[in-house]
Amino acid sequence: MSEVGDPFGEHRRVRSHTRVNVLGGDFAVQAADAELESLVVEAFGGLPRHKLEHAPPRFTVHVARAEQEQSWPRRSAPPRPALHAGAGLLCATVDAGNFAIVDVAMSRALVSISTAMLRHRYHARYELVELAFLTLAARGQALVALHGACVGSAGKGVLLVGASGTGKSTLSLHALAGGMQLVSEDSAFVAPDSLRVTGVASYLHLGVESLRFLPAKDLRNEIERSPTIERRSGARKLEVDVRRLDARIAPAPLRLAATVFLSRRTTAGQSALRELGRRELLAGLRREQPYAASQPGWRAFERRIVDVPAYELPRCRHPDLAVEMLRSVL
């Protein structure tokens, strides 16, 4: 249909349909074409179906293609999305052709991606597709969204909290190599009443220097073949698809058994864990999690989290020592 007769593009054909499970939510995805669908599959395909409720909530996301010209300089990364909110909608906007609109009340979202943006697949996937799906799933289920990793075993998980550079990804890698399960290396989502933790375990983002401690040559070689992405900070990371590794992704949400704050300070000792009191735990969480602390479920989360042991873990001389300390708190 012509633009004159269909100025909003309401009657454009949807050529691809798929379903994915994200944070326990059941998502019906309508995509304009197979290439856009592949972005969703890259982000969430092949992961275990986590379940937080007896009946998983249902969401709908439409992924549209825009034909706008590239609005940023050639050979440059696209601009960082600007975030807006109003009338019950949450929006992330790069330019006229690249944006995400999330309608939490109606359990739906619209993601628009231009052909030019698809040349920057990492940014398109991470900053528009993943943002829309994770925001909708978290807000729609009143989950507390934390910047942190989560690993565990036997149904119990450890929340790893710390600023960038404290080693969350390296510790997650060694936990996996040691047979533990991964929930997520970067974002953990907690049901505040039950303290069950879910996440998206698709990728690990690792600096090359973090591989020097890996004893398994085959695993190191597999990781080194991963593509390299550049973060907004300028840091270059290997983007390791965990689904392609012989690794254990948590098959179900883990019950939070401990919170561990990772510190940049180092220790030469074998027993580096320092137990934290309630005040120190809450002060640390509020300092490290300003976004989560502003959300409605935070107070309920605080009331429950203080009953779970919390520790500070300085940087160990070898990541495997830190993994053993994580095992000791489970």
Give the per-residue pLDDT at 191: 96
CATH architecture of 145-329: 3-Layer(aba) Sandwich (3.40)
Show the beta-strand stretches assigned E in the chain: 16-22, 25-31, 58-66, 82-86, 89-95, 98-103, 108-114, 144-147, 149-153, 156-161, 181-184, 187-191, 196-199, 203-206, 228-230, 236-241, 248-249, 254-266, 274-275, 310-315
Per-residue pLDDT band for 150 (boundaries 50, 70, 90) equals: very high
According to CATH, where is 3.40.50 located in the chain? Answer: 145-329
Structure tokens at 286: 């509020």
Residue 1: is its pLDDT beyond 50?
no
Give the per-residue pLDDT at 267: 67
When mean pLDDT is compared across 107-116, 118-127, 239-248, the lowest value belongs to: 239-248
Residue 324 burial (C-beta neighbours within 10 Å; 0-12, 13-18, 19+) = middle
**3-state SS, one letter per residue, for 17-62:** EEEEEECCEEEEEEECCHHHHHHHHHHHCCCCCCCCCCCCCEEEEE
Phi and psi dihedrals of 184, rounded to 5? -170, 150
> Model confidence over 83-116: pLDDT tens digits?
999 999 999 999 999 999 999 999 999 999 999 9
